[in-house]
Amino acid sequence: MDTMQQPPRPARKVKNISPKLVIWIIVAVVLIMLVLSSFFVVDQTEQAVVLRLGKYNRTVGPGLQTKIPLGIETSYNVPTQVVQTMTFGYRSNSSTSPLFGNSDYTSESLMLTGDLNIIDVQWIIQYKIENPVNWMFKVESRETTLRDISQSVMNKLVGDLPILSVMTSERTRIEIEAQENMQKIFDAYELGVRVVTVKLQNIVPPVGEVQDAFEDVNKAIQDMNRLINEGKQNYNKVIPSARGEANKLIQQAQGYAAERVNQAEGDVARFNSVREVYEQSQTITRTRLYIETMEAIINPTESGSVTLVDKNLSNFLPVQMVEGGTK
């Protein structure tokens, strides 16, 4: 049986790629890379620090920005419009809300008070980066420096006060002075940050019987403040009413006094007028006054019957006064 031999397949023709095409492809890729590396985006909450050959050149704001490619210029975005939070004595479970975590960071929060008691003070600081250049280049370990300065300031303030003052009445003053002192040191170190707020979160004595005793003291202080507030409330309720009643009585007394004075002045004026008339005609005035007085005494409409007695007579003469004459 004869075997049939298949004819050989024709060889594929390999197209030769032009060297010029390769060069153009390389040039296009390089140009695309150059263009892409010449632009960078800065967010609305950021500013970018641009370095040229490792030296500071400029600071640019939000938007699409340009730079010299090939590593000649490099940019670093810094969040200058974001309020950042740093916690002490605990760590937050969320980057947006400083909730208490479960980890133990008492090495940051245990402090010695002015009356030689140990207290656990947890607090936060909120800050904004105002100078991105100083923030990038003035201090090497920025967050460590922030923590060390904050702990030093807080230890000093707590160490100057007794434990009860730290737990109750001096909290606000500690927050204000801590913010001011931290800002002064940050400015001296040229950190480029501004402290927005310092807030004390939780202040408790060490765990154990001492803590129970201080909680009892704290409750007693709260009860005392509550009773003081209730007393002030009653004071504000009763005192104005009493003052109003007193002013009412004073006004009534002043009105009565004015009435009596006016009446007395009127009597004086009437007496003076009578006296002047009397001085002009003494006999007639004396007679008229006598008659008017006698009429007032033996007025029949008021007294009814009147008995006249003459001291020179041994008997009395009953006289009944009626309207129009005697009887």
Average pLDDT, integer, range 185-196 = 94
Supply 292's token pair: 């008017």
On whether the CB atoms of residues 121 and 200 are closer than 8 A, the answer is yes
Convert the pLDDT of each residue in 294-324 to its tens digit.
Answer: 777 776 555 556 565 556 655 555 555 555 5
Tell me what the mean pLDDT of segment 98-106 comes to. Answer: 58
Please tell me which residue, 124 or 7, carries the higher pLDDT value. Answer: 124
Asked whether the beta carbons of 126 and 136 are under 8 A apart, the reply is no
Give 215 or 197, the one with higher predicted confidence.
197
What is the per-residue pLDDT across 113-138, written as a single tens digit (0 to 9) for each? 888 888 889 999 999 999 999 999 98
Is pTM beyond 0.75? Reply is: no
Q: Quick one: which of 168, 151, 160 has its CA closest to 109?
A: 151
Tell me which of 205 and 235 has the higher pLDDT: 235
- 303 or 222: which leads in pLDDT: 222
pLDDT at residue 206 in the model: 65
Domain boundaries, the chain: 19-78, 84-206, 208-280, 281-326
Q: 3.30.930.10, 3.30.479.30, 3.40.50.1860, 1.20.1730.10: which CATH number matches 84-206?
A: 3.30.479.30
Structure tokens at 326: 């005697």
* DSSP per-residue letters across 108-139: HHEEE-TTS-EEEEEEEEEEEE--HHHHHHT-
Tell the residue number behind the tokens 């009127």, with chain if given.
266
First to last CA, the chain: 198
Question: pLDDT band for position 150 (50/70/90)?
Answer: very high
Query: How confident is the model over 158-170, as pLDDT tens digits?
Result: 999 988 888 888 9
Of the segments 26-35, 246-255, 297-306, 316-325, which one has the largest average pLDDT value?
A: 246-255
Placement of tokens 């480029």 in the chain = 192
What mean pLDDT is predicted for residues 73-85?
92
Alpha-carbon distances, residue 128 vs 111, 149, 199 (angstroms): 27, 16, 15
User: DSSP of 223-282, one letter per residue?
Assistant: HHHHHHHHHHHHHHHHHHHHHHHHHHHHHHHHHHHHHHHHHHHHHHHHHHHHHHHHHH-H
Mean pLDDT for the chain overall: 81
Among 85, 168, 163, residue whose Cα is nearest residue 118? 163
Closest CA to 118 of 218, 204, 217, 209: 204
Residue 71: pLDDT band with limits 50, 70, 90: confident
